Amino acid sequence: MELNYVYAFKVVLVLLQIHSKGCCYDIFNSNKQFEDPILNSNTVCKNTPSLNREQMRLCKELPDVVASALQGMQYAVHECQAQFRYRRWNCSSLEMKNRNPMSNPLLKQGFRETAFVHAIASAGITSAVAKACSIGKLATCTCDQSMRGKGDGWQWGGCGDNMKYGAKFSARFLDSRETGRDIHSLMNLHNNLVGRKTVIENSKTKCKCHGMCGSCSVKTCWKTVPNFREVGDLLMEKYDFATLIRVNNRIRSSKVKLRPVRRKFRRSGFKGELVYFENSPDFCKPDNSLLIQGTEGRVCSRDSLDTDNCKSLCCSRPYGTKKLSVTKRCRCHFNWCCYVICDVCEETSVLNVCT
């Protein structure tokens, strides 16, 4: 998975501000081995920006679970960046110092991009919490052992990822931000659910062989969350074919329903699809009110047939050529919950850049 691990670690530290012996870990300038962080209401809740009342209550009650949820949100931001890396809007504004990704002003709109971010964030939290349960990092949950029974040469067992707990917590944590009954709140709740269901419905079965002398006479099997790149690919496909819904200003009952604009969706339903109600801007020029950065300075490809084609990405503006020597972090890996260790690599490239 192509993740920007440096930014991931920085943002998680900004969110959690985890201290050890009075000082933050400086992971990029130290070769020390790190201990598991202390996760309590002081280290997690007080230093996590933009939590609402219910999220703060959850954080004080279950700080270790919220820490896993925050890590899941970072997985989601990185996957968003990977999926949109060739698009005019590339999710970079979701990762800013001292900001909760879900408080981004773009998410107050009814765009397709809003739909994707809500779904991927919900999926990220579901995955991260489910996995943290199964590896024994959380006090309130354990492995999923709900699968029972056996077949010819196999049986359910092992330690499955607790997706039921992960999805339930994801719903409690994210859905609590939607307190209204307007079209925007309903849209967000719908897309949150799509993200959770995408994880659960695409879970994988892993098995371990047992038998004499390496034989596989019996297999023990359990359920795991899917690879998050697969989740991102599935949600990106849903983004490309998202359903436009109707804005109903005349509310005749206490329950507002989402209605697709196109008739064909009214019969087939759209429960598993992303929905939006507002056409997106072209993202070509900066818009500070929505933290849209525009495409100036973006790297493009002259010969690409994808969305990173210079004509498309630069919005028909000119582009120049630059030779750059880039030093970057590489071969990164996460340590639970909040550490990342990277090597340093240097590359020289000739790039086409939008002007």
DSSP state of 47: T
Q: Select from 294, 320, 343 the last residue of a domain.
A: 294
pLDDT, one tens digit per residue, over 44-62 is 888 788 899 999 999 999 9
* Domain match, 48 and 168 both: yes
For residue 131, give Cα distances in angstroms to 28, 146, 163, 237, 328: 26, 15, 8, 25, 29
| Whole-number Cα distances in Å, 185 to 10, 40, 175, 276, 313 | 30, 31, 9, 11, 31
- Residues 186 and 268 placed together within one structural domain of the fold: yes
The CATH number linked to 347 is 3.30.2460.20
Q: Does residue 185 belong to any structural domain of this protein?
A: yes
Number of compact structural domains in the chain:
2
Q: Which of 58, 80, 61 is nearest to 11 (CA)?
A: 80
- Decide if 171 is inside a domain: yes
Domain that holds residue 340: 295-354
Q: What is the pLDDT of residue 6?
A: 39
For 342, list phi and psi in degrees, rounded to 5.
Answer: -135, 155
Query: Does the pLDDT at position 287 exceed 60?
Result: yes
Q: What's 159-223 look like in SS3? A: CECCHHHHHHHHHHHHHCCCCCCCHHHHHHHHHHHHHHHHHHHCCEEEEEEECHHHCCCEEEEEE
Q: Per the confidence metrics, is the pTM higher than 0.85? A: no
User: Looking at the structure, do residues 86 and 56 belong to the same domain, yes or no?
Assistant: yes
Kindly state whether residues 121 and 215 are assigned to the same domain.
yes
Residue 207 is assigned to a structural domain of this protein: yes
Residue 277 in this model has a pLDDT that exceeds 90 = yes
User: Angle 183-201/228-240 helices, nearest 10 degrees?
Assistant: 140
Lowest mean pLDDT among 37-51, 139-153, 241-255: 241-255
Structure confidence at residue 35 (pLDDT): 57
**217 and 345 fall within a common domain:** no
Burial of 303 (0-12, 13-18, 19+ CB in 10 A): exposed
Alpha-helix residue ranges (DSSP H) falling in the chain: 5-16, 53-61, 63-83, 112-134, 163-175, 183-201, 228-240, 264-268, 310-313
- Phi/psi of residue 311, nearest 5 degrees: -65, -40
**DSSP SS3 for 354:** strand
- The answer on pLDDT for 67 being more than 90 is yes
51 shares its domain with 173: yes
- The residues with which 339 forms a beta bridge, in sequence order, are 335
Residue 270 has pLDDT above 90, yes or no: no
Give CA–CA dist 99/118, Å, rounded.
16
